[in-house]
Amino acid sequence: MIEFKRYFFFILVALTIACQQQKETRIIPVDDFFKSQGKVAYRLSPDGKKLSYLKLQGADRNIYIEDIETGEGKTITQLKGKNIGFYFWVSNNELIYYKEIDAGTNQSDVYIIDKEGNNERQLISNEKSRLRIIEDQLIDDKYLLVSSNKRDSTVFDVYRLNVRDGSMEMAARNPGNIIDWRTDAEGKLRLAMSSDGVNTTILYRANENQPFKSVLTSNFKDTFWPVAFSHSEPNIIYAISDINRDKTALVEVDCNTGKEVKNLFCNDTLNITEAQYSRKKNKMSFVVYETWKKEKHFLDDSVRKVYQNLDKLLPKTETRIFDRDDAENIFILRTFTDRNPGSYYLYFANTGKLRKLSDFNSSIHEDEMSEMKPISFHARDGLLIHGYLTTPLNKKAENLPVVVLPHDGPVVRNLWGYNPEVQFLANRGYAVFQVNFRGSSGYGKSFVAAGFKEWGGKIQDDIDDGVKWLIDHKIADPKRVALYGTGLGGYIALNGLCLSKDTYACAVSNSGVINLFTYLKSIPPYRKPILQMYYEIIGNPLTDIDKLRQVSPLFMSDKINAPILLAQDIKDPNNNSGETMQFVKNLKKRNVSVTYIENDGDIFVGKNEAIRHRFYTSLDEFLEFNLKRK
């Protein structure tokens, strides 16, 4: 009996060890997280007969078109060593695409080509100007309505671009303060938005033969985003607005009076971020609002039924519609969760059937990923801050090394969903903490305004208070907390070492802003009409000199003592390479450990796999040495 008990005990121990081994997390190769997609930018021809996408072949991406009914297709462009930055169907037979000339300045040549790959013609050559498509419908089978700053680099005029011969005829001259132009459902130019840098004015005209007149004026702190014109009442526009309220709502506005005439959806606790209008049905379909993730409120029961059917076909996953045909029968979908990068599908509304197109990243397996959980805490001044926490799989959320991931800016936010950086870091054993600090979008205009001119101030306090919350809840090891960010997120990471040096063990900055003066100076000429807005949000380089200097890492290198990994895109217009090198030299003179990586391009863009591999391998090694080995 004793022998049996002893034998049973050993069996039990062996099973316990086996179960523990089964729970071991596989270290996934770096490149699996950051693969270039073989097929991207799916589009449908207006008649729904053709599917197009950018197909990666070797090192090049070209437009591929296939027949939806037969599946037969072919590549219609033959670019070598050049990126297609953007493309779209301009008719059932033709597409327009942008061939990238300079990735650093986003300069492109514009071409038109038919669906068979014939009759390719250059419409616009690189003139150090930008071209924006206002209306992608062809007018009289030959004109596109576009805006361009070719006459004056600081403003965008409106032109009729003849896609048959490439000629451009001015349709509306910018007096110098118009920042946006809008058309009605027939492609007529009926709305414009002007700015004096702080205030935005909506300008309206009943038809193209009349002059624009001022309708309403709001402060830049307000949101007023026109969505569409009403089909039945041409003077009515649908707009997302938070004028006279804190949270955005979907409203109807009478352009003759500038007054709100109807509230289609409003909630004092919810912020609307998107609204979908159906050209076929001539009505609003739904609005999207953000809580800890995006939700829909339907305004059209038929659209509700489409999504209800999608929920049955694709359970426990988020679904986004990326494109549709004119008949609104065939849709291109993207699915995802926080643990799954998802897939692309064709959905046929008339049959309720799905056809899978491709996986976003087939190397990622959902059961190896970690859950992204919403969290909230109060900052030191009482303001409620939200964010997300992702902890490593198969590890108890106690005393973990933490990577704080502040988002870029100035007015954006972290969102719930699949994030390859978050999952990569969690797979390496780190808790990943994403904070939507004050100034982030999605929580109302008071929350956004609370972050104005608080870069290096209360914004940094929010990050620090979030870390304190993690420590107080025993989630974070107080001696093993790192910061990692890109752009203004990288600025926050570096500032954390300067202003809260006892909180963070190390920091990583990818093209992070190190000098706010340089960042503000880099704002391109065509954004000058809203330059004052940047000054209100970041700081004025003429009147806030001392403050901006005190919170710019370039001038605070003497306060940094912790290790830094600094990656710099030499084409990044927001930074000065000379200043970055001086910053590195100043740190090294004081024997601060600095790992410096210089990239010739943006690591997040397209097919830069070699650049991505080098950066994320360096990030892996840097955090391993500075967090795990402590």
* Average pLDDT estimate for 465-473: 98
Give the Cα separation of 375 and 373 in Å (integer): 6
**Residue among 569, 564, 559, 629 nearest 599 (CA):** 569
**Mean per-residue pLDDT, 411-416:** 93
253 vs 605 pLDDT, higher one: 253
Q: Is 479 among the domain residues?
A: yes
H helix or E strand, kind and range, residue 476: strand 476-486
Which two tokens mark 120?
A: 């390719």
Question: Which stretches within 85-186 are classed as H helix?
Answer: none
Instruction: Select the more confidently predicted residue: 56 or 622.
Output: 622
Share of the chain above pLDDT 90, in %: 76
Q: What is the pLDDT of residue 572?
A: 80
CA distance 245 to 268: 8
Q: Does residue 412 lie in a domain region?
A: yes
Span 249-273, pLDDT tens digits: 999 999 999 999 999 999 989 999 9
Asked if residue 398 belongs to a domain, the reply is: yes
What pLDDT score was predicted for residue 277? 94
List pLDDT tens digits, range 282-297. 999 999 998 899 999 9
Instruction: Examine the pLDDT at 22 and tell me if it is beyond 80.
Output: no
The yes-or-no verdict on residue 94 having pLDDT over 80 is yes
Burial environment of residue 280 by CB neighbours within 10 A (0 to 12, 13 to 18, 19 or more): exposed
- Kindly state the tokens that stand for 264: 């289609």
Q: How confident is the model at residue 127 (pLDDT cuts 50, 70, 90)?
A: low
Instruction: Supply the pLDDT for residue 126.
Output: 66
Per the model's pLDDT, the better-predicted residue between 82 and 457 turns out to be 457
Residue 82 has pLDDT above 90, yes or no: no
Q: What is the pLDDT of residue 166?
A: 87
Percent of the chain with pLDDT over 70: 94
Q: Which amino acid is at 313?
A: L
Tell me if residue 122 falls in helix, strand or coil.
strand
Region 17-40: what's the mean pLDDT? Answer: 78
503: domain CATH number is 3.40.50.1820
Please report the pLDDT score of residue 17 as a whole number.
43
Q: Return the closest-CA partner of residue 239 out of 202, 279, 199.
A: 202
- Provide the pLDDT for residue 37: 87
Q: Which of 108-117, 167-176, 185-194, 525-534 has the lowest mean pLDDT?
A: 525-534
Q: How many CB atoms lie within 10 A of CB 605?
A: 15
Average pLDDT estimate for 82-108: 84
Residue 334 lies in a domain: no
Q: Based on the structure, what is the number of domains in the chain?
A: 1
How high is the pLDDT of residue 527? 82
Measured distance CA(481)–CA(501) in Å, rounded: 11
pLDDT for residue 362: 93
Beta strand 259-265 pairing with 271-278: unpaired
Residue 185 confidence class, pLDDT cut points 50, 70, 90: confident
pLDDT for the residue 575? 78
- Which pLDDT value is given to residue 7? 47
Output phi, psi for 394, to 5 deg. Answer: 65, 25
pLDDT at residue 16, rounded to an integer:
46
Is position 549 within any domain? yes
Which of 519-554 are b and which e, b meaning 16 or more Cβ less than 10 Å from the residue's Cβ? Answer: bbeebeebebbbbbbbbbbbbbbeebeebbbebbbb
Of the pLDDT bands very low, low, confident and very high (cuts 50, 70, 90), residue 371 is very high
Q: Is residue 322 part of a domain?
A: no
For residue 158, is it within any domain? no
Amino acid at 359: D
DSSP 207-234: STTSPPEEEEEEETTS-EEEEEE-SS-T
pLDDT for the residue numbered 4: 42
Residue 8, pLDDT score:
45
- 410 upstream amide cis, omega within 30 of 0: yes
- The answer to whether residue 551 is domain-embedded is yes
Q: Mean pLDDT, to the nearest integer, of 312-322? A: 93
Terminal alpha carbon distance of the chain = 49
d(CA 530, CA 196): 7
CA–CA separation, 416 vs 511, rounded Å?
24
For 220-245, the pLDDT digits (tens) are 899 999 999 999 899 999 999 999 99
Q: What is the pLDDT of residue 520?
A: 93
* Range in 97-101, 187-191, 499-503, 608-612 the model is least confident about: 608-612
* Per-residue CA distances from 592 to 54, 587, 589 (Å): 45, 5, 7
Confidence of residue 382 (pLDDT cuts 50, 70, 90): very high
Let me know if 12 is exposed, middle or buried by CB neighbors in 10 A (0-12, 13-18, 19+).
exposed
Q: Does 602 have pLDDT greater than 80?
A: no
All residues at 6 or more sequence positions from 378 whose CB lies less than 8 Å from its CB, including other chains: 384, 385, 465
The pLDDT of 34-45, averaged and rounded, is 92
Q: Which domain holds residue 551?
A: 370-628
From CA 629, how far away is CA 191, in angstroms rounded? 59
Q: Are 603 and 31 in contact (CB under 8 A)?
A: no
169 band by pLDDT with thresholds 50, 70 and 90: very high
- pLDDT score, position 131: 84
Cα distances (Å, whole numbers) of residue 349 to 274, 306, 352? 22, 7, 5
pTM of the model: 0.91
Residue whose tokens read 């003592």: 561
Task: Evaluate whether 430 touches 392 at the Cβ level (below 8 Å).
Answer: yes
Number of neighbouring beta carbons within 10 Å of residue 257:
11
| Phi, psi dihedrals of residue 589, rounded to the nearest 5° | -60, -30
User: When comparing pLDDT for 629 and 512, which is higher?
Assistant: 512
Here the tokens at position 538 are 């970041």
Residue 81: the pLDDT is 81
